[in-house]
Structure 1
Amino acid sequence: PDLSDAQRIVDKSISSLLHLGTIATMFPNARIICCQRHPMDVAWSAYKQYFNDGALAYTYSFERIVSHQKIYAQALKHWQSVLGDKLVTVRYEDLVSAPEESAKSLISHIDLPWQESCLDFYKSKTPVRTASYEQVRQPIYTTAIGSWKPYEPWLKQLQSSLLAEIEAYTQG
């Protein structure tokens, strides 16, 4: 699509974080929102979803998911220090547990007026091309929080590999 006149661009790609330097240079007034989620939920969600995109092939291996999450955590920490208040993070758990409060804060961050329809996103008829297309058509729900826990006995090694990221997340 032609985005030359766009005032705001939404990109939910995980790899966008790796390009924040370029984004910040090209768009010095850009406001960035980063949604963080418990590392085990991220890992389990990525692993159980089949992606036919070769760029997401890392999701087929716990070892590569861990590596990707460690790089992501380091990059986020770096860009938080560089971009300051241009980058705001929201915890997924907070967003889905208190959607109106969280959304109002995020909308304010990107200098838009609040509209109640922000909470009715799932009613939109706009086509969506994402692995989570079915979720986009539902109201916000909290059932994905802790989705990995029923499988915890089989995910001990993954959990151990992500221990530093889990501790940073739970303490942050």
Structure 2
Amino acid sequence: GIGISVPSIIHMSLEDWRRQTAINLDGVFLSVKHSLPLMRRTGGGSIIMMSSLAGLRGAQTLAGYCATKGGVRLFAKAIAMECASFGDGIRVNSVHPGIIDTPIWGKIPTEASGSGQNAPIDPEERAKLATPLGRAGHAIEIASGVLYLASDASRYVTGTELVIDGGMNAGGAVRQG
């Protein structure tokens, strides 16, 4: 997915809105649309949609990103109910990472960064302030959650969100010491 940061939604161009929606929502839609028939023919499976913590709560400068990731969250729930009604053996869930140390942090275009440039964002510094666990997550921690949802260990899990965010969604915590 992509995130486009703007100081206010009034600064986001329709072109940027549509680009972000095409990547973050249309891509998920097309993946599901074209994988479901094959999955149904082969007896089921697990669909895991990547959303974000921003799909569960707002973020001041990322309104468009939040809208797309919230859309992924509810799309997953709707498809989970569709699959359950078909009895096709397909489980559908979404994953909601928080601050994860990945290259996306260097790819968030901001108006303040100037034309064609990206503002440097250090995920570790941001996570120290924003997460109760006081650190950024790592890709392997997300992969472990995805592995769980793809495995038989989650065979009774569908239509839910797996939040992997160092406690951000739970609330704020003041570390002692």
How does the TM-score come out when normalised to structure 1? 0.31
How does the TM-score come out when normalised to structure 2? 0.30
Q: Which structure: greater strand fraction?
A: 2
More relative contact order, 1 or 2 (CA 8 Å, 6+ apart): 1
